[in-house]
Amino acid sequence: MAIIALHQVSKRYPGGFEALKAVSFSVESGEMLFLTGHSGAGKTTLLKLIAAIERANGGTVLVNGQNVSSMRSSAIPYLRRNLGLVFQGQKLLYDRSVFDNVMLPLIVTGQPYREAARRARAALDKVGLLTREKANPVTLSGGEQQRLCVARAVVNRPAILLADEPTASLDAAYADEIMEMFYAFHQVGVTVLVATHDQQLIGKYRKRVLMLDHGRLQ
């Protein structure tokens, strides 16, 4: 069953720039796939439409069978609780510890504290940051910060993981590490959609690749 389905989706930004033109594709539950294309091809816009951060001007965006493009704004938080987002420039909060950063999604969704703490530690363990839980994110390296973002994205056990250039600012070793994590989540049944322009990284995995060119799917 398709967990994500886009049909004839277009997105035009105020000012007239057409980011996406008649894009259609679907993603099976549990699938892992890459979204690639030159910079400005519309990768980020596509992910934003799925996460209801932007609204499509035409077509339908179905996530879990719900039409995201016509969703009431009060329903959007509940959609996002099924999504793990690793976005470019997504901020860590530097006024609290690594542990508290990972706790935030659980507190927001109202998990009991004890259970939440257990899951936060499990997520930190998965990305290898359990020993740094009391540290401030500022003291982490770039790779560690990105791993912290991944931990925060998966701590709520989302069905879908969306990542926008998760390896952009990392050297090859760190990038591999992050991608391996995504692959591991895919293997336990999470649907993973990664936008990246790193062809080398894509080549390592035999997965479906969506290619965007000036807002059109090739």
Partner 1 sequence: MRVWLQHHRLSLAQTTARLSNSPFATTLNVLAIGVALALPFGVYCMLSNLESLSRKISVDPQLTVFLARDAAKAEVAAVETRLRGARGVRAVRFISRDAALADLGRAGGMQEVIASLPQNPLPDAFVVTLATSDPILADRLELEFKGLPKVAYVQADSAWVRRLDALLRLGRTGVVLLAGLLGLALVAVTFNTIRLQILTQRDEIELCRLIGATHAYIRRPFFYLGSLLGMLGGVAALGIVGAGLAFLNRDLGALAQLYGADLRLAFPNPQEMGAVLGSAAVLGWLGAYISVSRHLLEAPRR
**77 binds partner 1 per the rule CB under 8 A:** yes
Amino acid symbol at 201: L
Distance CA 201, CA 218 (A): 20
**40 binds partner 1 per the rule CB under 8 A:** no
Task: Pick from 105, 137, 166, 215 the residue near partner 1 by CB under 8 A.
Answer: 105
**53 binds partner 1 per the rule CB under 8 A:** yes
**110 binds partner 1 per the rule CB under 8 A:** yes
Distance CA 102, CA 111 (A): 13
**108 binds partner 1 per the rule CB under 8 A:** yes
Distance CA 212, CA 218 (A): 6
Backbone angles phi, psi at 2, to 5 degrees: -75, 125
Residue 80 or 119 having the CB closest to partner 1? 80
Instruction: Indicate the pairing of strand 160-164 with strand 32-37.
Output: unpaired
| Beta-carbon-side half-sphere exposure of residue 85 (alpha carbons within 13 Å) | 20
Distance CA 5, CA 12 (A): 19
**37 binds partner 1 per the rule CB under 8 A:** no
**150 binds partner 1 per the rule CB under 8 A:** no
What does the angle CA 115 – CA 178 – CA 81 come to, to the nearest 5 degrees?
A: 40
Task: Pick from 64, 97, 109, 136 the residue near partner 1 by CB under 8 A.
Answer: 109
Instruction: Compute the least distance from the CB of residue 159 to partner 1, in Å.
Output: 13
Site for partner 1 in 190-209 (CB under 8 A): none
**80 binds partner 1 per the rule CB under 8 A:** yes
List of residues contacting partner 1 (CB under 8 A): 51-54, 73-74, 76-81, 83, 85, 87, 90-91, 93, 104-105, 107-110, 112-113, 152, 156
